[in-house]
A and B are shown apart, each in its own frame.
Chain A
Amino acid sequence: MATDLAGGTAADFDIETYLEEQQHKDLLRFITCGSVDDGKSTLIGRLLFDTKLLFEDQLAALDNVSRRYGTQGDAVDLALLVDGLQAEREQGITIDVAYRFFATPKRKFIVADTPGHEQYTRNMATGASTADLAVILVDARKGILTQTRRHSFIVHLLGIRQLILAVNKMDLVGFDEDRFTAIVAEYGRFADQLGARGVRAVPISALNGDNLFHASRQMDWYAGPTLLDLLETAETARDLATRPFRMPVQWVNRPTPDYRGYSGTIAAGTLKPGDQVVAQPAGRTSQVVRIDTADGPLDRGQPEQSVTVVLADDIDIARGDVLAAAEAEPAMMVADQFAAHLLWMHEDPLLPHRDYLLKIGPRTVTASVLRLTHTVNINTLDEQPTSALGLNEIARCQIATDRPIAFDPYQEVRDTGAFVLIDRFTDETVGAGMIDFALRRATNIHWQALDVDRAARSRQKGQRPCILWFTGLSGSGKSTVANAIEKLLMADGRHSYLLDGDNVRHGLNRDLGFTDQDRVENIRRVAEVARLMVDAGLITIVSFISPFRGEREMARHLVAEGEFIEIFVDTPLDVCEARDPKGLYAKARAGQLANFTGIDSAYEPPEAPEIHLDGAAAPPEVLAERVISYLRAQSIL
């Protein structure tokens, strides 16, 4: 940027012309991938340094820092420029994604600098998610490593189609052409396997600057472009403008009764006044009247612009809906089941069938993974069947949402094909997904409307159906209290059914064990059965340890508000253990029973149960009476 100024010609420097030139620059976002010692930080430091973005006091500050942590003696350690957080400096590794900025007279750049270790796959995916291009760094002495393959796979999966293979540290192999050629050939074979096309390769020395900005004098045999040439001529956005129009609605702009605009960022395609659009997933169509911006209406909107669209008809469109070209092919997919690649980003593993929040564009729905098809070994690209997904693992899976959503395959449009999974209790982002295709099944299953509905069945029985969900440790007294309640209900002429954990495990859930995944599935099935029973008009008593808050919440959401009554039988572990009616605690303590709740498997107590019973304080009959009084107070009985 300031290269032409540094020489002291500032006096006759025409700032207006300069600014005029500056404003026509475009922007390339790229990611650098490489292992710890491949010289990635040195490369970025060199790009920043040589583009003179580093001002003097930043260098002065660096001087201070280098003396404490540097690895290069008294010389400026370029790598330190790009390692931010103090903790990282002390460990000597980059643990997060850092974004750096530099500019050349032709273009502006944002570099995502991400760590290379396997345990930081999620960071790399984060950096890759917004990148137009990836620079894959390889140490010329070491050649293609497992890490190289992993990084390439991740950036390819995240949809980056422009790859630069930068073979670094050429100075340490005597600038040997054969070495470079061999590495490029080996990488080429791998790229074919991956499906990556058009990989560009360049031999460099980041430390000395060979083939970064200027052709290296040490490598006459290489006549190709420098790294900077490649960066300055790469495509800045994918061919999004040629695809059918898509714009997820972020915000409904309604300042006055006469104005109603739909604000969003254009994800793909272009839009003109007069175009027909369809609002998905509802499928209502209208015509574009105006494309508003604060700078005046546009003749044509293009990808990445943030605009406000005014339509001809007052159709019902809310945040989360997607405006799409009405007739262009391919049309948006609308489904509630789809196949996707999923990257897991949390220490707690993904559990199939557990409910998560899924955010796609501005829409958030409830979703669960129906099936993990297989994991992809990111080192070998081998696929293996799996039942759970751990941190930094990638799997192909089938996902179901609680209602239809509109999307595109990720590889066609990133913004309408990407989603994140969010834990419903911690609110943390736990997974990142890329949709592959809709599952046909989803659009074909419709709810069968039934004439005899739950209200009719409820009236017939003269009661309000509900779920009494008992939760607590084994031996806490759940089943004893539940049993007592059912007797009281029967005596009162009520229609009820008791679903008991042990009994259900002998039949419906015979195939399930006691791993976390199986516990989740166990509860899911029982919750669904309980829901059907509520639908049938029954007061349904569920007596399951149900150790996880998440699954109990899931069950709660299956029925209407007020129909789920969580009853926490709160008996201290030592009391339960002393009772040990089935001798299970003794076995667990003896190590003969794995995954036993309270011993080596977690129990998450309810935070706000409708009824909290102290299981050690009163006999079961008294506790049962308390539940009955609650039901009367709520007019359920």
Chain B
Amino acid sequence: MSDVPAVAPPSADGLASAPTAALRPLTHLKRLEAESIHIIREVAATFRNPVMLYSIGKDSAVMLHLALKAFHPGPLPFPLLHIDTTWKFREMIAFRDSLPERLGVRLLVHTNQEGLRRGINPIDSGSVVHTDVMKTQALRQALDHHRFDAAFGGARRDEEASRAKERVFSFRSRTHQWDPRRQRPELWRLYNTRVADGASIRVFPLSNWTELDVWQYIYLENIPLVSLYLAAERPVVERDGTLIMVDDDRLPLAPGERPEPRRVRFRTLGCYPLSGAVESDATTLPQVIREMLVSRASERQGRVIDRDQIGSMEKKKQEGYF
């Protein structure tokens, strides 16, 4: 629990409010919450072997929180899966490893051992190869190995233009291919959950959430997060205008380059050499939300891999990355 940031408690009639006699329309967060729970239950009820992909980030935290709510008072009827590239922030790993005890969930961790043997890493191999081998291929290996037929992901439609058209239930062929032209129509709350043997689906219960919704929900529901999201003094180097935190001694420093302590936080978390930090004074969630509102840069600014090419997310999806 030491990783859990201090968060101001939600106001007295926060999201977990006791119902009142007069019927009020559901707030947008309650409507989104109910929709996500519906989706999560539908998957648990109809798939043979579902899994929830857990990235340790804020979206994963919300997704997990919703899943726990969906089956309350019962336990989570599926495991969590983390794809570990071995380059995550150390604090992320500690936070991840505290989950099973804290929440009573089953956690699976998979690393592409073949990739490790080949020495793939984000520094020498570059972000494209590293992501492909240690994330995309690793994910496929894990899904194939455990024969998962449904995998929850925390992606949202507001993240990028190509995701605006992504279905909640996204079908993948046996080779994990995504074909935008063969996605099933999704009407009402009726999801066709049937898949052929060997094919699988990715399910995005947060499809209709925006970044602000996610933050607001974390705040109101008091959901524990990795403290990397909050500003603190951290050792960073500046490269091409991006602040990279020196999380361990694997990050090679250029001659004369020295990590300097700066007050930074992270808007998105991934492999530390690929995650850009932003300078910030936001040490509480409300301050983070305030900064986000004021900021004129979207969250993906810090994520190096999306900059590679126009339509890059679409290409990655076709290859099996989320």
Shortest CB distance A569–B (Å): 27
- CB < 8 Å neighbour of A16 from B26, B29, B208, B286: B286
List of B residues within 8 angstroms of A302 by Cβ:
23, 26
> Is A427's CB under 8 angstroms from B16's CB?
no
List of A residues within 8 angstroms of B296 by Cβ:
55-56
> Is B192's CB under 8 angstroms from A24's CB?
no
- CB < 8 Å neighbour of B185 from A254, A255, A432: A432
Chain A: interface residue total (CB-CB under 8 A): 92
The stretch among A119-127, A587-595, A626-634 that forms the contact with chain B is A119-127
Knowing A13-B290, A19-B216, A422-B194, say if A126 contacts B23 (CB, 8 Å).
no
Shortest CB distance B211–A (Å): 9
A447 close to B (CB within 8 Å)? no
- CB < 8 Å neighbour of A57 from B27, B301, B314: B301
> Is B310's CB under 8 angstroms from A65's CB?
yes
> Is A299's CB under 8 angstroms from B185's CB?
no
- CB < 8 Å neighbour of A23 from B27, B34, B185: B27
Q: In the complex, what distance in Å separates the CA atom of A259 from the CA atom of B180?
A: 43
The stretch among A379-387, A411-419, A542-550 that forms the contact with chain B is A411-419
- CB < 8 Å neighbour of B192 from A5, A294, A308, A422: A422
B125 close to A (CB within 8 Å)? no
Q: In the complex, what distance in Å separates the CA atom of A33 from the CA atom of B171?
A: 27
> Is B293's CB under 8 angstroms from A85's CB?
no
- CB < 8 Å neighbour of A97 from B8, B73, B165: B165
- A432 (CB) vs chain B CBs: closest residue: B187
A170 close to B (CB within 8 Å)? no
The stretch among A98-106, A180-188, A468-476 that forms the contact with chain B is A98-106
Shortest CB distance B26–A (Å): 6
The stretch among B41-49, B53-61, B107-115, B256-264 that forms the contact with chain A is B41-49
Shortest CB distance A138–B (Å): 25
Interface residues of B in 1-38 (CB under 8 A from A): 8, 11, 14-21, 23, 25-35, 37-38
A25 close to B (CB within 8 Å)? yes
> Is B192's CB under 8 angstroms from A359's CB?
yes
List of A residues within 8 angstroms of B185 by Cβ:
122-123, 125-126, 345, 429, 432
Q: In the complex, what distance in Å separates the CA atom of A101 from the CA atom of B163?
A: 12
> Is B189's CB under 8 angstroms from A87's CB?
no
B99 close to A (CB within 8 Å)? no
Q: In the complex, what distance in Å separates the CA atom of A85 from the CA atom of B181?
A: 10
Interface residues of A in 555-613 (CB under 8 A from B): none
List of A residues within 8 angstroms of B41 by Cβ:
250-251, 263-264, 306
- A308 (CB) vs chain B CBs: closest residue: B72
A296 close to B (CB within 8 Å)? yes
Shortest CB distance B104–A (Å): 11
Shortest CB distance B105–A (Å): 14
> Is B21's CB under 8 angstroms from A27's CB?
no
A490 close to B (CB within 8 Å)? no
Q: In the complex, what distance in Å separates the CA atom of A295 from the CA atom of B158?
A: 28
A357 close to B (CB within 8 Å)? yes
List of A residues within 8 angstroms of B72 by Cβ:
292-294, 308
Shortest CB distance A300–B (Å): 6
Q: In the complex, what distance in Å separates the CA atom of A113 from the CA atom of B27?
A: 23
> Is A85's CB under 8 angstroms from B162's CB?
yes
> Is A10's CB under 8 angstroms from B164's CB?
no
B75 close to A (CB within 8 Å)? yes
- A59 (CB) vs chain B CBs: closest residue: B296
- B217 (CB) vs chain A CBs: closest residue: A23
B225 close to A (CB within 8 Å)? no
Knowing A99-B207, A296-B16, A362-B42, say if A306 contacts B187 (CB, 8 Å).
no
Knowing A241-B23, A265-B189, say if A87 contacts B294 (CB, 8 Å).
no
A458 close to B (CB within 8 Å)? no
List of A residues within 8 angstroms of B44 by Cβ:
251
- CB < 8 Å neighbour of A265 from B21, B34, B293: B34
> Is B73's CB under 8 angstroms from A253's CB?
yes
A205 close to B (CB within 8 Å)? no
List of A residues within 8 angstroms of B295 by Cβ:
55
A451 close to B (CB within 8 Å)? no
Q: In the complex, what distance in Å separates the CA atom of A250 from the CA atom of B46?
A: 10
Q: In the complex, what distance in Å separates the CA atom of A390 from the CA atom of B74?
A: 45
List of B residues within 8 angstroms of A82 by Cβ:
161, 164
- CB < 8 Å neighbour of B190 from A5, A81, A418, A426: A418
Knowing A251-B41, A414-B188, A428-B184, say if A306 contacts B34 (CB, 8 Å).
yes
Q: In the complex, what distance in Å separates the CA atom of A428 from the CA atom of B181?
A: 13
List of B residues within 8 angstroms of A1 by Cβ:
212, 293
Knowing A57-B297, A126-B185, A255-B75, say if A108 contacts B15 (CB, 8 Å).
no
Q: In the complex, what distance in Å separates the CA atom of A298 from the CA atom of B21?
A: 10
Knowing A19-B286, A84-B164, say if A418 contacts B38 (CB, 8 Å).
no
Chain A facing B: main interface SS: mixed
List of B residues within 8 angstroms of A419 by Cβ:
190
Interface residues of B in 268-313 (CB under 8 A from A): 286-287, 289-290, 293-298, 300-301, 310-311
Knowing A26-B26, A56-B296, say if A98 contacts B164 (CB, 8 Å).
yes
Knowing A22-B216, A255-B73, say if A319 contacts B165 (CB, 8 Å).
no
B157 close to A (CB within 8 Å)? yes
Shortest CB distance B74–A (Å): 4
Knowing A422-B192, A427-B195, say if A23 contacts B220 (CB, 8 Å).
yes
Contact with B along A437-473 (1 / 0, CB 8 A): 0000000000000000000000000000000000000
Knowing A26-B25, A250-B38, say if A299 contacts B19 (CB, 8 Å).
yes
> Is B219's CB under 8 angstroms from A306's CB?
no
List of B residues within 8 angstroms of A357 by Cβ:
194
Knowing A86-B162, A306-B41, say if A27 contacts B32 (CB, 8 Å).
yes
Interface centre among B15, B187, B301, by most chain A C-beta atoms within 10 angstroms, is B187
Q: In the complex, what distance in Å separates the CA atom of A459 from the CA atom of B142?
A: 54
Interface residues of A in 285-342 (CB under 8 A from B): 292-296, 298-300, 302, 304-306, 308, 319
> Is A361's CB under 8 angstroms from B27's CB?
no
A58 close to B (CB within 8 Å)? yes
Shortest CB distance A235–B (Å): 9
Q: In the complex, what distance in Å separates the CA atom of A249 from the CA atom of B37?
A: 13
List of B residues within 8 angstroms of A103 by Cβ:
210, 212
> Is A10's CB under 8 angstroms from B294's CB?
yes
List of A residues within 8 angstroms of B286 by Cβ:
15-16, 19
Shortest CB distance B172–A (Å): 13
> Is B23's CB under 8 angstroms from A270's CB?
yes
> Is A87's CB under 8 angstroms from B301's CB?
no
Q: In the complex, what distance in Å separates the CA atom of A319 from the CA atom of B27?
A: 28
- B37 (CB) vs chain A CBs: closest residue: A306
> Is B189's CB under 8 angstroms from A84's CB?
no
Q: In the complex, what distance in Å separates the CA atom of A263 from the CA atom of B220?
A: 24
Q: In the complex, what distance in Å separates the CA atom of A32 from the CA atom of B8?
A: 40
> Is A253's CB under 8 angstroms from B25's CB?
no
Knowing A23-B220, A265-B189, A295-B16, say if A429 contacts B26 (CB, 8 Å).
no
B96 close to A (CB within 8 Å)? no
- CB < 8 Å neighbour of A236 from B25, B194, B298: B25
> Is A359's CB under 8 angstroms from B27's CB?
no
Contact with A along B66-87 (1 / 0, CB 8 A): 0011111111000000000000
B186 close to A (CB within 8 Å)? yes
- CB < 8 Å neighbour of A427 from B163, B196, B207: B196
> Is A305's CB under 8 angstroms from B34's CB?
yes
Q: In the complex, what distance in Å separates the CA atom of A96 from the CA atom of B187?
A: 13
- The 10 A-B pairs of least Cβ separation, nearest first, read A255-B74, A27-B28, A294-B69, A55-B298, A294-B72, A129-B187, A56-B296, A306-B37, A86-B311, A427-B194
Q: 14 more A-B contacts (CB under 8 A) besides A13-B294, A237-B25, A300-B21?
A: A5-B293, A10-B293, A10-B294, A19-B286, A19-B289, A27-B26, A96-B165, A255-B75, A259-B74, A292-B72, A293-B72, A299-B19, A300-B23, A427-B194
A-B contact pairs, 17 of them (CB 8 A): A15-B287, A61-B310, A65-B310, A84-B161, A86-B310, A86-B311, A99-B207, A103-B210, A130-B188, A294-B69, A300-B19, A304-B26, A319-B45, A415-B188, A427-B194, A428-B184, A432-B187
